[in-house]
Amino acid sequence: MELIIYIFAILYFTIIFSFFIGIVFLENSKNTKINNISVIIAARNEEKLLPCLLNPLISQNYPNENFEIIVVDDRSEDNTANIVKKFQAENGNITLIQVKNESKHLLGKKGAIDAGIRAAKHDILAFTDADCIPTQNWLKQINNHFTENTDVVAGYSYVNYKNKFLKYLKNLERSSLFAVIAGSFGWNLGITITAGNMAYRKELFHLVGGFGDIGKRKSGDDVLMIQKMGKFVRRMKFMFHPDSIVNTGRNETINSQMQQEIRRGSKWRYYTLPIKIMTLFIFIYYLIFSISFFGFLFAKFSLTFFIIILILKILPEFLLLTLFLARVKRLRLMWVFPIAELIYIPYFVIFGLRGTFGNYKWKD
């Protein structure tokens, strides 16, 4: 049994440390020309938060003639469309598209995003969520990373929570996700991505067949898409500059966060086989690590054995998060690292199981 645990621990160490290496060697070449960019936002019942997004978008530190803003009103039942029309009347860069009914072939917000992509004039497509707040240099940072051979760019996003402790804890957990995104991009692998701060080429979207084969899956317009693109993408870049960070304007509650985590877990069954195997390995490893912990408590394993297993888990996680958070200037989040280490395994296992075998509620 100890040998099996050692093997799993060493493999886990190797996987996490490889993401650390990926960040270290992530390409830093900078684009020197101004690209044309289409910003696409799918909005459903976001009348309260949409102005907080549109105001910084229309005042971007980027030439007006080089970008457009496409807001897709996705079956809203509130004043979303009229809010966009007011901004549209004062800014010629904004286009409003209204989706009245959900497509049978494009579930969730995929129909809205697809409509936005079809209307886009430019090759580079930038995406954020209707409840987000980008910096005024967001498009400038995206442009800086889109060299001629770059097809995908992603960035960090920070979420607000009503509870201050939860805000630190959840943003550290989210940072581990972004660290994996950045580390995998360093190896030019498309493992995961988040819709709130990403961009890719329209040509690549069409090359992989758009949402076609994933359209009937309720979520996954970001993660499942990047996994499809992984086979064809030439170069991926991650933005670390503070000006590239996108904050959310929504004060998340515990319930809304739980639903988001269940949605995230629900995508696992649709992952590509290599990524499915890797995430399944991590799931099994967490169970085995838990066994080793209880084995130590009940004197089945020695203290030396458990310390080695503990180091093989914590060390690469600490190095990866420290490097990533230092790059995005959010190192202060590390103060909750010890607490996160205590609760993350049951958190990951519970929501992984609930997402795979249970149901979730989509955002109203």
Q: Summarize pLDDT for 137-183 with one digit per residue, the tens.
A: 999 999 999 999 999 999 999 988 777 888 898 899 899 999 999 99
Per-residue confidence (pLDDT) for residue 360, from 0 to 100: 47
Predicted confidence at residue 362, as pLDDT, reads 46
- What are the CA-CA distances from residue 242 to residues 118, 137, 321, 324 (Å)? 31, 9, 17, 12
The label of the residue with tokens 């458990």 reads: 306
pLDDT at 269 > cutoff 70: no
Residue 289 and residue 219 share a domain: no
Give Cβ neighbours of residue 335 (< 8 Å, ≥ 6 apart): 168
Residue 244 counted as domain residue: yes
Structure tokens at 42: 């799918």
Instruction: Calculate mean pLDDT across residues 21-26.
Output: 95
Instruction: Name the pLDDT band for 108 (thresholds 50, 70, 90).
Output: confident
* Strands 157-161 and 132-134, sheet pairing: unpaired
β-sheet bridge partners, residue 272: none
Token representation of residue 342? 């205590």
What's the pLDDT band for 252 if we cut at 50, 70, 90? low
Which of 325 and 105 is assigned the larger pLDDT?
325
Instruction: Place 190 in a pLDDT band, splitting at 50, 70 and 90.
Output: very high
Give the pLDDT confidence score for residue 103 in this predicted structure: 84
Tell me the mean pLDDT in the region 97-112. 90
Count, in order, helices (H) and strands (E) of the chain.
Answer: 12, 10
Same domain, 247 and 291: no
Give CA–CA dist 309/291, Å, rounded.
Answer: 11
Is residue 96, in this structure, part of any structural domain at all? yes
Residues 227 and 249 in one domain: yes
Query: How far is it, in rounded angstroms, from Cα 43 to Cα 54?
Result: 12
Helices within 135-221 (DSSP H only): 138-145, 164-186, 202-207
The CATH number given to whatever domain includes residue 201 is: 3.90.550.10
- What tens digit of pLDDT does each residue of 195-212 get? 999 999 999 999 999 999
CA atoms within 13 A on the CB side of 287: 9
Rounded CA separation 55/69 (Å): 11
CA angle 233, 200, 80 (to 5 degrees): 155
Same domain, 234 and 283: no
Task: Provide the pLDDT for residue 364.
Answer: 47
pLDDT attached to residue 305: 87
Q: Do 276 and 259 sit in the same domain of this protein?
A: no
Domain shared by 342 and 303, yes or no: yes
Q: In this structure, are 180 and 304 located in the same domain?
A: no
- With respect to residue 239, please indicate whether it lies within any of the assigned structural domains: yes
pTM of the shown model: 0.89
Same domain, 142 and 200: yes
- The amino acid that residue 127 corresponds to is F
Share of the chain above pLDDT 70, in %: 89
Task: State percent of the chain over pLDDT 90.
Answer: 65
Please check whether residue 363 lies inside any domain of the structure: no
Q: How many domains does the chain fold into?
A: 2
For residues 149 and 295, state if they share a domain: no
Q: Give me the mean pLDDT over the 77-89 stretch.
A: 94
Six token digits for residue 125: 């497509």
pLDDT in tens, 289-298: 888 877 777 7
- For 67, the domain range is 29-267
Q: Report pLDDT for 241.
A: 95
Q: Which region, left, alpha or beta, applies to residue 11 given φ > 0 means left and ψ of -120 to 50 means alpha?
A: alpha
Whether residue 362 is contained in a domain is answered as no
How big is the CA angle at 40 (ends 72 and 196), to the nearest 5 degrees? 110
Alpha carbons within 13 angstroms on the beta-carbon side of residue 189 total 15
Is it the case that residue 351 has pLDDT exceeding 80?
no
Of the pLDDT bands very low, low, confident and very high (cuts 50, 70, 90), residue 266 is low
Residue 349, domain member (yes or no): yes
| 224 φ/ψ angles, rounded to the nearest 5 degrees | -65, -30
208 shares a domain with 308:
no
> Is residue 294 located within the same domain as residue 245?
no
Phi-psi region of 188 (alpha: psi -120 to 50; beta: other; left: phi over 0): left
Band the pLDDT of 27: cuts 50, 70, 90. confident
**246 and 128 fall within a common domain:** yes
- Residue 167 domain-assigned? yes
Last residue of one domain, picked from the residues 267, 301, 322: 267
- Identity at 91, one-letter amino acid code: N
Last residue of a domain, one of 267, 295, 310: 267
pLDDT at residue 293, rounded to an integer: 75
Q: How far apart are CA 357 and CA 187, in angstroms?
A: 32
Mean pLDDT for 202-230 is 91
- Does residue 364 fall inside a structural domain? no
Task: Mark which of 267, 288, 314 sits at the end of a domain.
Answer: 267
Q: In the predicted model, what is the mean pLDDT of the chain?
A: 88
pLDDT band, very low/low/confident/very high, at 28 (cuts 50, 70, 90): confident
